[in-house]
Amino acid sequence: MKGNPFLQIISIVAIIVVFICQFVFLNPFVSTWDQVDFSLALERFDLLQMQPHFPGYPYFILGGMFIHFLSGGMVESLTIFSILFYLTSIYPIYYLSCHFVKREYTWLVTAITYTSSYTVVMVNQPISEGAALATLWWLMWSIFIALKSDRKIIYIVPLFFLSALFGIRLSYIPFAIGVALLFFQKWKDGKLSVKELGQYASIAIFFQLIWVAGLVASEGSVEGFIKLSLAFTNGHFQEWGGSVGTSQLTIIERIYYLLVKNIYWTGLSGENVVLAVLYAAMLIFVVYTLFSKNRRVDRQFYPLLWMVLAYFLWSLFAQNIEKARHALPIIIMIVFWLWITLFSKRCQSWILALAISILAVQCYTGLNLVREQATIKPAIYQMADFLSGYEEPIVVYTWEETRVLQYLGVPFSHKRVLTYELFKEDSKNYRDRSILLTNKVVEGFRAQGIEMTDLKRIKMFHSNELFDPVYHDITLYEWGGDRDE
């Protein structure tokens, strides 16, 4: 290997240590609605029963099924597939690094990007983010090699990876702009005719139809699939799993929430103060370098920048901003861009020291978080354990928590309720039981203009917000209102 042997060794060791620890501390919990959907899909794929929810994530589920066939556990199978698939992203990250920075720094850039604390945590959850992120790296790699090549057969590769990306996580649809820019550039340079563009468009549609056709077949008809998709997507992007607080944010507040809370504090820093300070110093220096030296971005990096910008706007306006994982592609691309900017020229020794420090701190932070995620029960599990030993007959009204309670097979009655009118009517059926409400239900009722004063706090449950930003804090109340009204 060419380059700096010391930097190569510590970088490769960091990658190996993180990879091994991801398996040592394999996450056994499902703490969100989405995670339950994905896990149940390994036993029976059924979109109507939300196993998983629309659009089905067929390639992710297929990968999980393969691991499930070999290993057994549903939750663990999805996580293992994500870990293994994410490992393959080392190659495209390294390949892109080799183009933008000197060879002696490529492994260091690769290691810092790969071991980003928050990314490692998300990869170790039974959701599609880890696999989608790996596919995104392969898509960016394929766009880059297609830009450099005049062989028209190569232009099919980005179309394949775009289909794979959508089949794993359709909400990454804004990244299609990178492929569109690739073909626009080839047409502009005279490398492709309009007729050939139409042919490649047909190939792209064919690749997408492979996974779409599988979903249609699982539903039995095109009409049934369309009805299901419309029913699910109605209000999904802005309301699904969100809270009253974030849905009422102004555009300025949403930008602040996305940039400062999701991208900087959670994404770059892993909610670690030391890492936050190190990245702050780095950001200041990068901005100063760009403005003081009037440096220009490599033209071949433009499609990647447009992809990130498109997804940023998508996250801002069409995603649940309360969940930092929706900003994961932006986070990881910022990490990559920051380091290739610093290392694109001969760097000073203090920059190298900063890079090694960030690599060490984020590995330490990420591994601690992965261990905590695998060993400490989520708040919803704590509540389930508490209520399973409750002495009085009860019925628990929840928001989305009931999906996890169903998965756990708890021995007490629980119901999902969204409106106060439905709650009042339904509670009349349980005059012989104590009525318990979670804080999300109470918050929802109050947003509907209901006072909700007849409440007695029973117990609070807490887990790390980084793992589940919506249901990391659960407060259980007993309702003492009149059921005869």
The encoded tokens of residue 312 equal: 């940023």
Instruction: Provide the pLDDT for residue 240.
Output: 37
Residues β-bridged to residue 475: 460
Q: Residue 236 contacts by C-beta under 8 Å, 6 or more apart in sequence?
A: none
Per-residue CA distances from 396 to 423, 449, 476, 482 (Å): 11, 21, 9, 17
In degrees to the nearest 10, what's the CA dihedral of 324, 329, 332, 334? Answer: -100
Query: Which pLDDT value is given to residue 437?
Result: 97
Strand partners, 415: 397
Length, in residues, of the chain: 485
Cross-strand partners of 459: 476
Q: How far apart are CA 95 and CA 403, in angstroms?
A: 42
Closest residue by Cα to residue 249 from 260, 241, 257: 257
Q: Pinpoint the alpha helices (H) of 234-301.
A: 236-239, 244-247, 251-256, 273-292
For residue 241, what are the contacts with CB-CB under 8 A and spacing of at least 6?
32, 33, 34, 320, 322, 323, 400, 470
Residue bearing tokens 């020229």: 345
Predicted local distance difference test score (pLDDT) of residue 237: 43
Strands in 413-416's sheet, in edge-to-edge order, are: 413-416, 394-398, 434-438, 473-479, 455-462
Of 447, 468, 443, give the one whose Cα is nearest residue 383: 468
Buried/exposed 206-225: b ≥16 CB within 10 Å, e otherwise: ebeeebbeebbeebeeeeeb
Q: Single out the residue of 60, 59, 113 nearest to residue 89, CA to CA.
A: 113
Q: Which helix (H) or strand (E) holds 301?
A: none
Paired with 456 in beta bridges are 478
Of 118, 169, 104, residue with least CA distance to 139? 169
List C-alpha distances in Å: 76 to 26, 68, 81, 355: 7, 8, 9, 33
Rama region for 221: left / alpha / beta (φ>0; ψ in -120 to 50; rest):
beta
Angle among Cα 134, 306, 249 to the nearest 5 degrees reads 90
Q: What is the pLDDT along the chain (485 residues), one digit of tens a residue?
A: 456 889 999 999 999 999 999 999 999 999 999 999 999 999 999 998 889 988 899 999 999 999 999 987 899 999 999 999 999 999 999 999 998 888 889 999 999 999 999 999 999 999 999 999 999 999 999 999 999 999 999 999 999 999 999 999 999 999 999 999 999 999 999 999 999 999 999 999 999 999 999 999 988 888 888 888 777 766 454 443 344 445 578 899 999 999 999 999 999 999 999 999 999 999 988 888 777 665 666 666 778 889 999 999 999 998 888 899 999 999 999 999 999 888 876 677 888 999 999 999 999 999 999 999 999 999 999 999 999 999 889 999 999 999 999 999 999 999 999 999 999 999 999 988 999 999 999 999 999 999 888 899 999 999 999 999 999 999 999 998 776 65
pTM of the shown model: 0.93
Q: Where are the alpha helices (DSSP H) in 376-483?
A: 379-388, 401-408, 420-427, 439-447
Q: Please name which of 267, 253, 252 lies closest in space to residue 308, comparing C-alpha atoms.
A: 267
Q: What pLDDT is attached to residue 287?
A: 83
